[in-house]
Structure 1
Amino acid sequence: MNLSHEEEDYNLSLSKFESMLKTNKVFFFDSEEFEDIILHYLDMGKTNLAKKALKLGLEQHPKSSGLKLVQVEMLIYEDKLDIAEKLLNELFALEPTNEEIYIQKANIYSKRDNHQKAVECLQEALKYTEDYADVYNLMGMEYLFMDNLEKAKENFIKCLEEDIEDQSALYNVVYCYEFLDQNKEAIEYLKTYIDRNPYSEIAWHQKGRLYYGIKDYPNAVRSFEYATYIDENFIGAFMERGKALERLKEYEEAIESYKRTLELDDPTSYALLRIGKCYEKIGNKTQAIHFYNLTVHEDPLLDKGWIAITDFYVREKNFQKALFYVNKALAIDNLNRAYWKRYASINQAIGMYEEAEFGYRKCIEYGDDNLDTWLFLADVLQYLGEFETAIKDLSEAATIFLNEYEIEYRLAGLYFLISDENKGLFHLTNALNHNYNNRFLLEELFPVVWSKAKVQNLIKKNETLK
């Protein structure tokens, strides 16, 4: 790899400085060399070495404003804002047209959460700078801190007009458009950006994401494809392309796109899971279960993997295998209500009602807030002959889910089963008022209750009122 003269000089300065530290000999560096060395160590997170370089630099160049500005930057980094501000004021008296002084002043104001003042300093910096892109980018960030997304967007766009290659500004422009719910406008902006910079894989990828967001999946696929043509190792674009192809029901192409991500890097549980789902969609059950197994092997903590395997076997009516896998999942995470829901419903399907009751109770204990969980629990208790427990649970559910006819019809039936006809008629009246059309739910769940004369009379009475 050929290095430029600048890169060679830079590497030479670094090795010379590190040699000096090892031998305790003092070498001379010009102030700009010191600046580069200090900033290199700061970027590497080696603040002690940066401080050593700064100390030596100021000893050799005590009047260097460049080094003093680096010192200010380090003081701000360490939250020594008052000392940094004092030093900046001294520098300002000497160099009132140095844009870096205004930028560092803005940095101090920003650290103190005075973002409007920071913007004012950056506007001053614009008068003296040659690097407009950097200042516009900083202004954009200040407006983001102030939640002024329109102004932030405007400044990031100005930044890109000055430096079309600034990827962080490009991401921020798209972020602002999305936050403002302006996906279509963002797409239009990216079209103009791509006209100027057609080989920006980031722009094509972002455009694809935006198309996906507005459900324009064909254009999303095309945009992601362009991103992969420009960068054939762009894992994110292959992944997103797969998702868009799934939406178009192009499952075989989606599989190829996901498989490309496996070739480029270590397999991710997400890609393996999506491949399994696609294989299941095209009816290749062998490959589907193979990839579901790879998913849980890759990431045993990913609940979607265990759920996919369990649901696959439920759809196949292979309840024993479904139960085997949901038990494996529960052995890893027994606080997961999605696992408990499946454990309960599978046990219910194979007639293991006590286990089903236990599972539904665990769902509720771990925060399941779905009405159907309470209803399934009540139905299981009814089957077990635990009528009063079912009434107690449904009464609790009625305080959470107000005026739900499915609860009321069940309470009516259960009260009749324990021979409390008054309460049975009360809840049946409520149920009929809330949803008369679904009265046959009572017949389905409680055929003996349905045939009672008092029940039929009440239903007929309500029919005449409708």
Structure 2
Amino acid sequence: MQLSHNEEDNFSLDRFESMLKTNDILFFDSNEFENIIHHYLENGKISLAKKAVKMSLAQHPTSVNLKLFKVEILVFEDKLDLADGILNELKELESSNEEIYIQKAQIYSKRDMHSDAIKMLQAALEITLEDAEIFSLIGMEYLFLEDFENAKYSFMKCLEADEEDYSALYNVMYCFDFLDQKTEAIEYLNLYLNKHPYCEVAWHQVGKQYFDLKEYNKALAAFDFAIISDDRFIGAYLEKGKVLEKLKRFNEAIENYNITLELEDPTSFAYLRIGKCFEKLGCDDFALKNYKQTVHEDPLLDKGWIAITDFYIKKRNYQKALYYINKAINIDEENVLYWKRYAKINSRLNFYEEAEQGYKKSLELGNYELETWIRRSDILIGLGEYETAITCMLQALEFYPGSAEIEYRLSGLFFCTNRGEKGYFHLNNALKIDSEYYIIIEELFPNIFDRKSVKQIINSYVKLS
């Protein structure tokens, strides 16, 4: 009885693994070893691949293909000099072997010598019969060089050689997107669809381009064609749902998101979008149910916690909003979006010390918006923490040197701490920038505003009533 090709491979694998367990030495021909090593590399079993390479070269020491597998493992392990030495020897023996050039290119690439890698791959192109893979590798090298035009061309050539290489199609679209060539992308996809009218990936990509161009009806048609081509294509249903949301067809959007929940394991993204749609429809109970399902599916998705928190903020139920934002912070205390809401909610609840800590944490995490500096400063002023408020405003001034809002606050703060000279200096700065904003002094520092000298300076810029 003759074994099929797959059965032969499995038989070889079983024999090899049995040999490892028993320490017996069995003979395998070089093709068997190549299939065994290839299997282990494909499945990420590097240690087993290394054992197979070692044994294979012991039995077939002159095999170029087996030596190339050894090179591949050495490159993977970053033993580049050793790998390069073997390749140089192999090139002398078999200069027409494309794999030698491909592995040479891999070494150049790992050394960040991407232009040299491209030259090696172009040399491989001249001798290969299978050029799709090499064009793909050239495209990746151009991506490393951030040469998106040449990368795009290379992936297009890859797709010409293998018209069903969807990874190449995605890479072509990535280049179009980076170059902001949406119209050109649509033209290219239409040419591709003329040859492959039922390619769901291409229709999906056309829809995304139209979505970005805000041509929602065309996007909707494209996603419908993607679904006709493959009625289990989850990505198309999700994108169609997003389009329907833009068209304010929320019930239909919910239907499409629900289909994705039925087709595969539920995703937090689908639950989140369903919640948003129900909220737009005024179905608060269903919205909240889906938001809670969102964070249940993925507690690390900040958009889920933010959706619940914002839902309660809109309802002015600040206690519940605080409860959920605290839960979110307990999961990820480095998320600046959580701390901004924490500060805002505590401020609404008149928990000023907690609010100040929230704004302080937001700043520490890199949220340098002017509003964040100002709100923290105003809370510190209300708490009588003038020195800390001064430090806060001086730091803010480094980011916003021409801000009247900061200058007025610094003026009032310096007057409050009996440093009149600095107070007058910052007051004059503020009035020069925007004299109408003097009301900041009036509202935050009424006692300072009532001073005769202060009113005189303000009067020199604007007539007080």
What TM-score comes out, normalization by structure 2 length?
0.83
Residue 142 of structure 2 is aligned to residue 155 of structure 1: no
Check whether the contact 1:292–1:309 (CA below 8 A) recurs between aligned residues: yes
Q: Closer, same or farther in 2 for the Cα pair 1:317/1:16, shift >3 Å?
A: same
| Residues 218-367 of structure 1 mapped to structure 2, 5 A cutoff | 218-367=217-366
Q: Percent identical across equivalent pairs?
A: 55
TM-aligned CA deviation for residue 163 of structure 1: 0.9
Counterpart of 2:38 in structure 1 is: 39
Q: Residue 49 of structure 2 corresponds to which residue in structure 1?
A: 50
SS of residue in 2 equivalent to 1:462: coil
Is the deviation greater in 50-59 or in 427-436?
50-59
Task: Give the stretch that moved more between structures: 228-237 or 127-136.
Answer: 228-237
Deviation at 1:119, TM superposition (A): 3.0
In 2, Cα distance between equivalents of 1:435 and 1:32: 81
Structure 1: state its 5+ residue gaps: none
Distance 2:123 2:339 in 1: 61
Deviates more, 1:51-60 or 1:135-144: 51-60
Identify the residue that residue 198 of structure 1 maps to in structure 2: 197
- The one-letter amino acid of 1:102's match is Y
SS in structure 2 at match of 1:351: coil
CA distance in 2, matches of 1:316, 1:96: 73
In structure 1, the partner of 2:210 is: 211
Q: Deviations over 1:139-198 (max 9, x none)?
A: 223333333332222222111111101122222222222233323322222221222222
> Aligned-pair distance for 1:39?
0.8
Letter in 2 for 1:345: K
CA distance in 2, matches of 1:109, 1:307: 46
* Bigger shift: residues 413-422 or 288-297: 413-422
CA deviation after TM superposition for structure 1 residue 40, in Å: 1.1
Distance 1:284 1:418, change over 3 A: same
The question of whether the paired residues in 2 share the 8 Å contact of 1:32 and 1:66 is answered with no
d(CA) in 2 for partners of 1:352 and 1:188? Answer: 57
Gaps of at least 5 residues in structure 2 are none
Structure 2 match to 1:119: 118
Q: 1:246 to 1:96 in 2, by over 3 A?
A: same
Counterparts of 2:100 and 2:67 in 1: how far apart (Å)? 10
Q: What residue identity is the alignment partner of 2:177?
A: E
Cα separation, partners in 2 of 1:61 and 1:178, compared to 1, 3 Å: same
Distance 1:10 1:282, change over 3 A: same
Corresponding residue for residue 134 of structure 2: 135
Q: Are residues 453 and 250 of structure 1, via their aligned partners in 2, closer, same or farther at CA, if it must alter by over 3 Å?
A: farther
Contact 2:244 2:250 in 1 (8 A): yes
Q: Are 2:436 and 2:462, in contact at CA under 8 Å, matched by a contact in 1? A: no
C-alpha distance in 2, partners of 1:112/1:349? 55
152 and 457 in structure 1: CA distance in 2 versus 1, 3 angstrom threshold? same
> Alignment length, in residue pairs?
461
CA distance in 2, matches of 1:66, 1:399: 62
CA distance in 1, matches of 2:348, 2:341: 10
Q: CA RMSD in A?
A: 3.6
